[in-house]
Amino acid sequence: MTAAAWHPDPTGRHELRYWDGAQWTDHVSDQGVQSTSPLYPAADAGAGAADSGASGDAWVGSQEAEQAAEAEAAGPAESAESGGQSGEADPEPAFSFDAVTAVAPRAAEPASQPAPEQPMEQAPEQQPAQPWTPAPAYPPQAPAQAQPQPAAQPMAAYGDQQVPANAFAGITGDLIDGRFSEKDGVGASLQNSRLLRVRIAEPFMARQGAMVAYQGNVNFAYQGGGAAKFLKKAFTGEGLSLMRVEGQGDVFLADEAHHVHVLHLNNSGISVNGKNVLAFSAALDWNIERVKGGSIAAGGLFNTTLRGTGWVAITTHGEPVVLNPAEAATFADSDALVAWSVHLQTSIRSTVSAGALIGRGSGEAFQVAFQGAGFVIVQPSEGPRIPTAG
């Protein structure tokens, strides 16, 4: 069975007529314009139906009738001529219909020749009739679609600022080109020669007031060190006011833009001038101890000693020098002395002369002497000068 579709109008009155899969309908199309037109005109409906009933499977329709009459009048010659032409090329098949049985469109054959019997073919599976759909009109011009316009952004009020996707958008310079960006690392790590960052993995001790910035959830608490250390600090003048830092985050430490150096101790010890201690691991034991060979009268001969396993950050006023006492006898000014190995032998050397009592001294009255294998750290500064009268 022929599927529902548009086919040439078998009546010849229109270009196309719709076949719904079971019968011809009144829906027609001309030049893409659809309308309705009865299959039989009102005047010929009865005659057409009667003729259809009498002829059984005969083809009806005005076009087919005219073709049959012309074929009979033309005679054998025209039939022969028609046959010759058909051998050259198959003519465009004309569609006809049976008004009574409502057969599917099929090719009409010449009226002068009987239709040869065709072998019976197995009918395809019955397809349900498809609903009528409009004829495909000639492609209409699609209406021009307006291009979407970007939504107007509301004007920001005076003083308001919109946060850009890039925090540095519209700003250039060495401060934001990456050279001063935070450097990654674990534990205590230098961000530059004068700034220390501690990524908190465990509590640590830091000089009070040394924090310049921090990120995260960090707690700061005063750390006194106990009554014994408090008395030592008050009695000796070895200043080391500490705070305990713990939590989660990063803490940035500095001390008057002095150079910062990080040392790692592995079951060892170091003696550091208290004013040069910036921070150290809470796992280290610390105490205020007298420099061996010194006396209270000499002054400034008490240092902070750190022992154990952990890290310590010290500061120097300028870039220091590290001396090896094993190479030669080593002496350092007590004000320029920063730190040394705890297992070195120390003593105090005095250069006070009688001329110093009358204002003719060298200004270098006491030095610390070192002997043994180890290191001595000396900074290129004796600290701020105290102006004197006169």
Residue closest to 333 by CA, chosen among 298, 305, 360? 298
The torsion angles phi and psi of 112, rounded to 5 degrees, stand at -75, -15
Two structure tokens written together for 83: 């046959």
The string of DSSP letters for 136-175 reads ----PPPPPPPPPPPPPPPPPPTT--PPPSSTTTT--STT
Domain annotation for the chain: domains and CATH numbers:
5-107 (no CATH), 188-378 (3.60.160.10)
Q: Distances from the Cα of 192 to the Cαs of 183, 258, 259, in angstroms?
A: 9, 11, 9
Kindly tell me the burial class for residue 271, based on how many C-beta atoms sit within 10 Å of its own C-beta (0-12, 13-18, 19 or more).
buried
Q: How far apart are CA 91 and CA 181, in angstroms?
A: 86
Q: Which amino acid is it at 123?
A: A
| Cβ contacts of 375 within 8 Å, gap of 6 or more | 322, 323, 324, 340, 341
pLDDT given at position 31: 86
Sign of the torsion formed by the C-alpha atoms of 57, 60, 64 and 66: positive
| Cβ contacts of 347 within 8 Å, gap of 6 or more | 292, 293, 294, 368, 369, 371
pLDDT given at position 334: 85
pTM metric for this prediction: 0.54
pLDDT given at position 197: 97
Q: Count other C-beta atoms under 10 Å from residue 229's C-beta.
A: 18
The torsion angles phi and psi of 114, rounded to 5 degrees, stand at -70, 150
Q: How far apart are CA 91 and CA 68, in angstroms?
A: 16
| Contact call for residues 309 and 267 (beta carbons, < 8 A) | yes
Q: Which residues pair with 24 in a beta bridge?
A: 19
Q: Name the DSSP letter for residue 357.
A: G
pLDDT given at position 4: 85
The torsion angles phi and psi of 342, rounded to 5 degrees, stand at -70, -20
Two structure tokens written together for 109: 């054959």
Per-residue pLDDT of the chain (390 residues; tens, 9 = 90+): 578 888 898 888 888 998 888 888 989 999 888 899 888 766 554 544 444 444 333 344 445 545 555 555 554 444 444 444 444 444 444 444 444 334 456 544 444 455 555 555 454 455 555 555 555 544 445 555 555 555 555 544 445 556 666 777 888 898 888 889 999 889 999 999 999 999 999 999 999 999 999 999 999 998 765 545 554 454 444 557 899 999 999 999 999 999 999 999 999 999 999 899 999 999 999 998 888 765 544 444 788 999 999 999 999 999 999 999 999 999 999 889 999 999 999 988 877 654 544 444 445 667 899 999 999 999 999 876 655 554
| Contact call for residues 175 and 299 (beta carbons, < 8 A) | no
Q: How far apart are CA 353 and CA 356, in angstroms?
A: 5
Q: How far apart are CA 199 and CA 297, in angstroms?
A: 42
Q: How far apart are CA 326 and CA 373, in angstroms?
A: 5
The torsion angles phi and psi of 350, rounded to 5 degrees, stand at -110, 135
3-state secondary structure 269-303: EEEECHHHEEEEECCCEEEEEECCCCCCCCCCCEE
pLDDT given at position 52: 42
Residue closest to 261 by CA, chosen among 301, 299, 312? 312
Kindly tell me the burial class for residue 66, based on how many C-beta atoms sit within 10 Å of its own C-beta (0-12, 13-18, 19 or more).
exposed
